[in-house]
Amino acid sequence: MKYGVMKQKQTVFRLHTFRWKSSGQWLKLFRYLWLSPVITASVIALQSTGFLQLLDWATFDQFVRWRPLEPPDSRIVIVTIDEPDLKKLGQWPIPDAILAQLIEKIKLQKPIAIGLDIYRNLPVQPGHEDLIKVFKTTPNLVGVEKVVEDQNRASIEPPPILKDKNQVGAADLILDADGKIRRALLSIKPPERPTILNLGATVALLYLQTQGIIPKMTANQQVKLGKAEFTRFTENDGGYVRADDDGYQILLNYRGSQDNFHKISMTQVLNNEIPPDFFHDKIVFIGPFAQSLNDLFFTPYTSNLFSINDRTPGVIIHANIASQLISSAIDGRTLIHVWSDRTEWFWVFLWSTVGSSLGWIYGGTRWTVYWLILASGGLIIISYSAFISGWWLPLVSPLLALVSSGMVVTAYIANVERQDRKMVMTLFQRYVTPKIAETIWQNREDLLQKGQILGQKMIATVLFTDIKGFSTIAERMEPAMLMTWLNEYMNAMANIVFEHDGVVDKFMGDAIMAVFGVPIPRNSTQEIAQDATSAVSCALAMGEKLRVLNQHWQQQNQPLISMRIGIATGVVVTGSLGSSQRMEYTTLGDSVNIAARLESYDKSFYSEGTCRILMNEETHQQINGKFPTRYVGRVQLYGRQQLINIYQAIND
């Protein structure tokens, strides 16, 4: 009879690691990190469809609203035309005479530039001649025209006099798909016409000329203006996907809410209620503020697109454009920069890898969610800090990649873990207690590799038990009755092994092989001694149980039996043995053979007892007098050349 082999169904093991313990686990990490490029590619593909664009814009808007409010730009003043002004005038458009008077009063304080954000392509009597005269005598006045015809408005011609004097700027603004303005259109090239600068850009250049600053084109096609270099917006910059990038556009770096400029009403100017030098050496914008005129636009500061009161007048947007150009050129105020597509893709991949790593390290536990939340918060903080410094980094796509990778790896690990746990538990649950099975599961990375349990050398205690005279009993009993009777015996003995934290290695007919101290190696002499003690205690309990069974069987007129037990402590090797079609968990070693030979030693010795228990010298030393024993002698066991000392555990 071969010993040390435990038969089982075909089993394929897969190893999963969740703790940083050795360099080998770095290799195992790549089992899950392959998901990172897959998820990265999926997120980038999703982003390229424009599906994430609104979320990217919403993130941009939130960062703009979170930014600290900058001080008002003291170089810019806005003359507002609001509802009280209209009520006093009693009409709209403003008569040319009133507009001429307004401009003349502003001119008295000698501003550097005046931006008139009011269409005046047709005369509005009375006073048209007065306005023509003002246009002719005000070289720093810039009027507006609407260059591009769109679904909201047709193109609108500029005042003819100002057009002839080349004192016209475009009033056109670029609206994103959600109706908000996040970009500044600095210039536009109409068909068969010269390039036209935006109103804000035109007055800003007039101001900068007085400071000796003129625009220059750099070698990499950027526009250098003083301390700033402006990079032209392209269709996929930032969170945009295939945006309209006609004309020269930049991302608009708003200075703040509409109240972040010095303002004065038209009525105050006409009534000479102007502080001294209020307009002196400044840029002055004139434009409507009144809600009824509907020259209002949604911006990043608009938190609710359904609120008509939360909109910004167009003249404020032109003032922001002028302020951005001037403050960047003179003060070095930051612009809004973006990464190249490849850099953004790498950023997405990096966070996807972070998510995969967190899912791998903490997969299947609540810590995965905690760390993903923490990592998401870190990503948001990094993105917001970069935005404060003038960089609009992608947030939605890396955040999606981070969370998706973490959750996908966690789900993948959890699914495979369920399969592995089922395999491991199916393998061991019939042979060990739930306590040992759980220990095996917790230490699976030390046990399993490449689909099998690695062979491990360890010290364990092996127990063999056999029924005396079983062949004679089997001849006399009906097979069905024999099977029932034997199962009752086996079940009782196996439960005793479990109760003593042993592993039932194998059932062999009427024999049982149990091992104490496997499959987790023992690391201390105390643990090895405890295994030997458990084995002897288990053998004694088996003898007591057999006496109870015999009493029960005697009442049922069934055979009464006695048993022999051999126990040996020593070095064994445990692991998987077999082929890919049939894998068996095996305990091998000289101690296995000694235990088997002790069980079958001299069957006439102590034949009158119910349970004979023999042990080797090593077991006797490990139990250290915890049980009564007697020395049997120094004997030569069958099939062995060396003599060994054997002892008997007294259980009478």
Q: Are residues 276 and 307 located together in one domain of the fold?
A: yes
Domain's final residue, options 338, 369, 391: 338
**Do residue 349 and residue 331 come from a single domain?**
no
- Confidence class of residue 529 from pLDDT cuts 50, 70 and 90? very high
Within-domain flag for 35: no
Whether residues 275 and 412 share a domain: the answer is: no
With a CB cutoff of 8 Å and minimum separation 6, the contacts of 96 are 120, 123, 124, 125, 126, 127, 128, 130, 131
Q: Within a domain: residue 23? A: no
The sign of the dihedral angle between the CA atoms of 607, 611, 617, 623 is: negative
Report the pLDDT value the prediction gives residue 256, as an integer from 0 to 100. 81
pLDDT number for residue 476: 87
The DSSP line for 95-130 is PHHHHHHHHHHHHTT--SEEEE-S--SS--SS-HHH
**Least confident range of 37-46, 190-199, 585-594, 638-647:** 585-594
> Domain boundary at 338, 362, 391, which?
338
Range of the domain at 426: 340-430
At 414 the pLDDT is 76
Q: How far from 206 is each of 74, 111, 196, 203, 280, CA to CA, in Å?
A: 16, 11, 15, 5, 14
Residues 408, 269: one domain?
Answer: no
Please state, as a whole number, how many other Cβ atoms lie within 10 Å of the Cβ of residue 547.
14
Residue 10 included in any domain: no
CA–CA gap between residue 13 and residue 22 (Å, rounded): 20
pLDDT-based confidence at residue 316 (cuts at 50, 70, 90)? very high
| 559 and 619 fall within a common domain | yes
508 lies in the same domain as 462 = yes
- Domain presence at residue 66: no
Based on the structure, what is the number of domains in the chain?
3
Residue 45 falls inside a structural domain:
no
79 beta partners: 264, 286
Please tell me whether residues 373 and 466 are part of one structural domain. Answer: no
87 with 182, same domain: the answer is: yes
Distance, in Å, from the CA atom of 521 to the CA atom of 501, rounded to the nearest integer, reads 14
Residue 103 and residue 167 in one domain = yes
In a domain, 31, yes or no: no
Looking at the fold, whether 271 and 149 belong to one and the same domain comes out as: yes
Q: Averaged over 277-300, what is the pLDDT?
A: 94
Residues 467 and 488 in one domain: yes
pLDDT at residue 435, as a whole number: 58
In whole angstroms, what is the distance from residue 180 CA to residue 302 CA? 8
Lowest mean pLDDT among 150-154, 225-229, 275-279: 150-154
From 397, 430, 463, give the residue that closes a domain: 430
pLDDT tens per residue across span 89-101: 999 999 999 999 9
Q: Once rounded to an integer, what is the mean pLDDT over residues 315-339?
A: 96
Task: Write the pLDDT tens digit of every residue in 452-492.
Answer: 556 678 999 999 999 998 888 888 889 888 999 999 999 99
Q: How confident is the model at residue 629 (pLDDT cuts 50, 70, 90)?
A: very high
Choose the weakest-confidence range: 156-165, 503-512, 540-549: 503-512
Identify the pLDDT of residue 585.
65
Q: Is residue 486 part of a domain?
A: yes
> In the beta sheet, which residues pair with residue 614?
566, 648
Domain presence at residue 189: yes
Integer Cα distance of 452 and 13 in angstroms: 6
Alpha-helix runs per DSSP H in 467-524: 470-476, 479-499
Task: Give the C-alpha separation, 198 to 168, whole Å.
Answer: 9
Write the pLDDT tens digit of every residue in 43-79: 999 999 999 999 999 999 999 999 988 999 999 999 9
- Statement: the pTM of the whole predicted model exceeds 0.75: no
CA dihedral 567, 568, 573, 576 (to 10 degrees): -10
425 and 563 share one domain: no
Q: What is the pLDDT of residues 176-199, one digit of tens each?
A: 999 999 999 999 998 888 999 999
